[in-house]
């Protein structure tokens, strides 16, 4: 259904004004990681719509550019595993091996396609062996642009009467800058065009790289989140000093969830001081990513069904909430809402 000019303006205003989410404290937000990506092919409009129906607060698109400079939602710029490109003979010659963040990657890459060409491809489930039910939706949708994701959030905000935010991640920004396709300005321009260039707008911009977040902060007033994994990271988040350093260029921290609730001998351990120290530095804490499949859970939380069977992800979610986090990423936003 098309929005009228007035309805579009109202939905844009709803997305831009989110005072309840402006501060790092309060009810934890649920961030739909790539949409409801445990149940529909990730980064599709159907995955985002299902996440909204399940009660999420934010939908999360990972952003990569096309050859002609458009931002599209894909977890990686390599799209062999998330589209049908490998079966398309007209694109066979574009298969390549590239070095991305120091690692060789072979496949097909968004930066070698125009948006029009990408729109001819069909999305598919990235983990069909773990998510066969989701794979049944293969081929039904195309790759969405960032604008389409924002438009969906606006329309769903109006339809549901609650604010649905967007939580984009800048993927491999140093790599794309080297190709002459910098992400920071493109993301900033998109937020400005949609009335989201504000520290109180329902938007967070996330990245694993420090300098791109700093550069983005020179172009936009939107809130930034520093992502860190449970391993080597550009900033040591296990010390108050490291967290203070992050607070100088970001409003939030996105740690891999075992940094908040560690796994000890196959079970959930005692929460670390990370949330307390991050809050002391003025940072919101949004850990990632809680998934329901046994494959992704500690041994003590696995249940019957092998790697693809669902275990007790609710225990992880409740432990994170009890640790005082300000939000959580999940491939199963319905579980995260229920646990909250």
* Contact present, 203 and 192 (Cβ < 8 Å): no
The answer to whether 285 touches 253, Cβ cutoff 8 Å, is yes
Non-local CB neighbours of 5 within 8 Å, separated by 6+ positions: none
**Which is nearest to 328 in space by CA: 247, 276, 256?**
256
| Active-site residue (options: 43, 70, 75, 172) | 75
How many angstroms from the chain centroid is the CA of residue 183? Answer: 16
Residue pair 305/269 in contact (Cβ under 8 Å)? The answer is no
Question: Which residue, among 58, 31, 61, 29, has the nearest Cα to 45 in the 3D structure?
Answer: 61
* Distance, C-alpha 70 to centroid of its chain: 18
∠ Cα 172 142 42 (to 5°): 55
Those residues with Cβ within 8 angstroms of residue 326's Cβ, 6 or more apart along the chain or in another chain = 24, 25, 26, 28, 29, 252, 284, 285, 286
Active site residue 75: yes
What's the CA angle centered on 274, arms 270 and 279, to 5 degrees? 130
Q: Mapping DSSP to helix (H, G, I), strand (E, B) and coil, where does residue 141 land? A: coil
Name the catalytic one among 33, 43, 172, 279. Answer: 33
Q: Is 338 helix (H, G, I), strand (E, B) or coil?
A: helix
Query: Is residue 43 annotated as a catalytic residue, yes or no?
Result: no
Closest CA to 138 of 82, 86, 54: 82
320: helix, strand or coil: helix
Neighbours of 93 (CB within 10 A): 7
Residues pairing with 224 in the sheet: 205
Segment holding 62, helix H or strand E: strand 62-65
Please, what is the Cα angle at 101 between 95 and 103, to 5 degrees?
60
Q: Which residues are catalytically annotated?
A: 33, 75
């Amino acid at each position: 259904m098309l929005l009228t000019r007035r309805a579009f303006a109202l939905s844009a205003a709803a997305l831009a004004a989110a005072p309840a989410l402006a501060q790092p404290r309060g009810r934890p937000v649920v961030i739909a990681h790539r949409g409801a990506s445990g149940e529909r092919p990730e980064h599709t409009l159907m995955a985002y719509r299902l996440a909204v129906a399940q009660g999420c607060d934010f939908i999360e698109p990972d952003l990569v550019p096309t050859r002609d400079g458009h931002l599209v939602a894909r977890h990686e710029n390599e799209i062999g595993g998330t589209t049908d490109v490998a079966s398309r003979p007209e694109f066979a010659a574009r298969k390549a091996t590239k070095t991305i963040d120091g690692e060789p990657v072979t496949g097909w890459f968004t930066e070698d396609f125009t948006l029009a060409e990408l729109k001819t491809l069909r999305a598919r489930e990235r983990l069909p062996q773990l998510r066969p039910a989701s794979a049944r939706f293969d081929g039904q949708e195309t790759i969405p642009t960032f604008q389409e994701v924002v438009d969906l959030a606006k329309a769903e905000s109006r339809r549901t009467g609650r604010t649905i935010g967007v939580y984009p991640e800048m993927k491999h920004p140093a790599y794309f800058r080297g190709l002459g396709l910098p992400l920071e300005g493109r993301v900033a321009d998109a937020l400005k065009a949609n009335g989201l260039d504000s520290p109180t707008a329902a938007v967070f911009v996330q990245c694993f790289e420090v300098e791109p977040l700093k550069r983005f902060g020179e172009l936009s007033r939107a809130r930034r989140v520093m992502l860190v994994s449970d391993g080597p990271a550009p900033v040591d988040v296990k010390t108050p000093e490291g967290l203070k350093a992050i607070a100088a260029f970001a409003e939030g921290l996105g740690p891999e969830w075992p940094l908040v609730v560690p796994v000890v001998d196959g079970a959930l351990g005692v929460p670390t001081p990370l949330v307390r120290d991050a809050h002391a530095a003025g940072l919101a804490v949004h850990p990632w990513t809680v998934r329901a499949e046994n494959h992704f859970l500690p041994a003590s939380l696995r249940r019957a069904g092998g790697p693809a069977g669902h275990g007790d992800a609710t225990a992880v979610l409740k432990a994170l909430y009890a640790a005082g986090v300000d939000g959580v990423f999940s491939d199963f936003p319905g579980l995260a809402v229920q646990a909250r």
